[in-house]
Amino acid sequence: MTIPTGSYDLSADNGALLVKTFTDGPAAAMGHNLVIEATSWAAQVEIGKTPAASSVSMTADLTSLEVRDGTGGAKPLSAGDKGKILDNAAKALNAKKHPELRFTATDISGTWDAGLVRGGMTINDTTAPLDLTLDQPAPGELRLTGTIVQSDFGIKPYSTMMGALKLKDAVDVEVSIPFE
């Protein structure tokens, strides 16, 4: 199926913005690899006849994060654990002072099934380049995936137990956008 051309206003009501974190360090097996969802975000997408004729810009509220899943770990995630994780994330992201994440595409190339979206991401009042892979995992659905390096934005990855358990500096991001 071809992606229909036109202007789209997208949000958590009709898409998903997920962040995937991974544990590191000698005690990594004690921690959880997490899937965190931004529940408040907005994107303006202009779909042209080709990816190169398209545009993307988005914002996300970093205070709207929710832990959706956690794999691994010494014990299952409790509601209390999820609350602590979100508190730590808010501190690491400096979300109280800079609650908004912004991304604006500067170049889109390739095809709907194998494209590249280049742009600038702003987190914690710091902007760095970000490349996202564009693909079409199902008919009528676009997906953007990439890796954000926290330290590029002045974010120190979470660490505990004197660094024996910490998050990897690189986190994966995925935005799924259905057009049907």
Query: What SS3 class is residue 62?
Result: helix
Looking at residue 141, its pLDDT comes to 87
Looking at residue 180, its pLDDT comes to 64
Burial class (CB in 10 A: 0-12, 13-18, 19+), 76: exposed
Taking 70 as the threshold, does the pLDDT of residue 9 lie above it?
yes
CATH topology of domain 6-178: Lipocalin (2.40.128)
Q: Which of 130, 116, 20, 12 is nearest to 72 (CA)?
A: 20
Taking 90 as the threshold, does the pLDDT of residue 84 lie above it?
yes
Give me the mean pLDDT over the 17-34 stretch: 95
CB atoms inside a 10 Å sphere around CB 128: 14
In degrees to the nearest 10, what's the CA dihedral of 61, 63, 69, 71? 110
| Ranges of each domain in the chain | 6-178
In this predicted model, what pLDDT tens digit does every residue of 36-68 receive, in sequence order?
A: 999 999 999 999 999 999 999 999 999 999 999
**% of the chain at pLDDT higher than 90:** 88
Higher-confidence residue of 146 and 139: namely 146
Token couple for 155: 């974010």
Give me the mean pLDDT over the 135-164 stretch: 92
Question: Which single residue is written with the structure tokens 């730590």?
Answer: 88
Prediction pTM value: 0.93
Average pLDDT, the chain: 93
Looking at residue 178, its pLDDT comes to 82
**Least confident window among 2-6, 74-78, 90-94, 163-167:** 2-6
Looking at residue 70, its pLDDT comes to 94
AA letter at 11: S
